[in-house]
Structure 1
Amino acid sequence: MRILVVGAGATGGFFGALLVKAGRDVTFLVRPNRAAALRERGLRLTGLGEEEVITPQLVTAAELTAPYDLVLLSVKATALQQAIDDVAPAIGPRTSIVPLLNGMAQLGELTARFGARPVLGGVAKVVTTLNAEGDIVRLASLAHLEIGEQDGSPSARLEDLRTVLEGAGITVGVPEDIVAAMWHKWVFITTIGAVTCLMRGTVGDVNAVPGGSAFALAVLAEAGAVAAAAGYTVPEGQLDVIGRMVTQDAPFASSLYRDVVAGHPTEAEHIFGDFLDHARTLRVDTPLLDLATLHLRVHQHRAAEATEASGRPSEAA
């Protein structure tokens, strides 16, 4: 099976590296600048465990000419439209596309471009980040993917994909309702992002002060209410797990928070803006999430101004 990983960042680079190490046929679709860096340094895994250097097969959009069997789409939401254009030559009649983005809008955008058949739902659970050199830093050993047909039906290709992905240090789940699983992760991402970004601190920082834990649980209640109104109620056990995570005394933070602290653009509209659009349509009040979204939009405005002033193009993959 020929696998194309679109993007070699903290998520796609990590899963792609695991697949390369397991002997899978993996190529990374990256922007020219990222390709040059990877050819010079290799794809490096650091942090938890021993440092590893992978020599990846690379292709840029201009060099992409033939279809692949599996496309793992793992770019930032801000680069989604460009990535869809870039990856088009890789999509054939038997291609399966698994988007590993947070939120839900990617399903509609991919389906509009390529049709419903190739587009699967996907959830990635991993704790990684990129350092200043572009190396992938493992912060925990978690490496889990969930995949499923958008309509919830069983299919032979899901089992084929599970076989290919497993055995590479990746655990793979095939839930009965992948769309519900994506909504449930959306609740988690929105909650942890709002708590850490709005308070400008880690979960431990927030819970170290009076009122911090109550605030975190109130944010979770708002996010859970939106999912329930949409028909994707988060199971009580999952809500309890998220609640414990956002009220723990630990230096845990969201990737959104790390982007904010670094002054980078964020996925605010894809994750928060779209979530609030659902809330308004469903008539669910979300004052804390509204405030967090406004905070992130102001940050996004300032980050865009800084990028424009510097003359640097944004990196898509």
Structure 2
Amino acid sequence: MHKNKTFKLAAIQAAPVLFDKAASTEKACALIADAGRLGADIVAFGESWLPGYPFWVDGPVIDLTWEASAAYLENSIAIPGPETDALCAAAKAAGVEVVIGVAEADPFTEGTAYCTALTIGREGEILNRHRKLKPTHAERIIWGDGDGAGLRVLERDYGRISALNCWEHQMMLPGYALAAQGTQIHAAIWPGRETTPRDGEVCWARQHLLSRAFASQACAYVICAAGLRLEEHIPERWRPLGVWEHTGQSAIIDPRGEIIAVAGSEETILIAEGSLDLVRAAKAACDIAGHYSRPDIFDFAVNMRPAGPRVQLHDGEDDYADDASFSDSSIDEDE
């Protein structure tokens, strides 16, 4: 059982410094310190917060598009690297857990980034790296497909924590993988937009809807951490690419799926208190991976092997090169 029955959850809603990973990292560290002073146990930033969401992928393809993409790749980060070292130090100094969306540079090609949810412990160590499984629509111009290695729930002294990016909450199975591991506190990280659909519109922002659905189904608290990017946050050089504003509306949601705190479109640290007693009460009513499941009918397995390089290079002496990056971990309901 966990030591603490209550905890404080925080959504950090703030604009990064676009195309500047050093300045964005510095700002993130300051915000982590602020959240620590507010007594937060776990804080979450929006999707690809460091160094910012690639907003231009939804616009017209012009020469500046590729310049922006090149600048974005240049400002993507290595894990581990100098930026993660700074974030880890900030988390340790503040005594908080941190989930932050980052653009992670592919270490092999340096021509692809991954939309990664990075989780850092209050001890100042990287706990998990989850790469977005399937970038949405035009995001595929710059983000590569992730793997299942990061579909993990982490045991902490105040509860079990997890994280997913944006429309991974629409996919259903990633969420079930986390529910099956008993997640209790979940970071749902989003670019940041909550709109009302127009008549006939098939695709619209669903950050509250999907975050609330996850909370209700997994019987977990959800930090719906939304990014913020208004016109004034976009450097003049990049404005010809179009201005698609991300207006925030972060929220914190309880295990019943009810919103208990919500932000507007300003920079803020949204705080709410949670209780494991409410998590357990919700799971007692409907534990979708426990008493409210049918493993005799449905089989479910997750490939959690990390993806390695796309090409295996052999020196002619061995049939296959050893690759220590692969593991045989999996989730299987039959086990």
Q: Shared topology, TM-score over 0.5?
A: no
More helix by share: 1
More strand by share: 2
TM-score norm. by structure 2 comes to 0.28
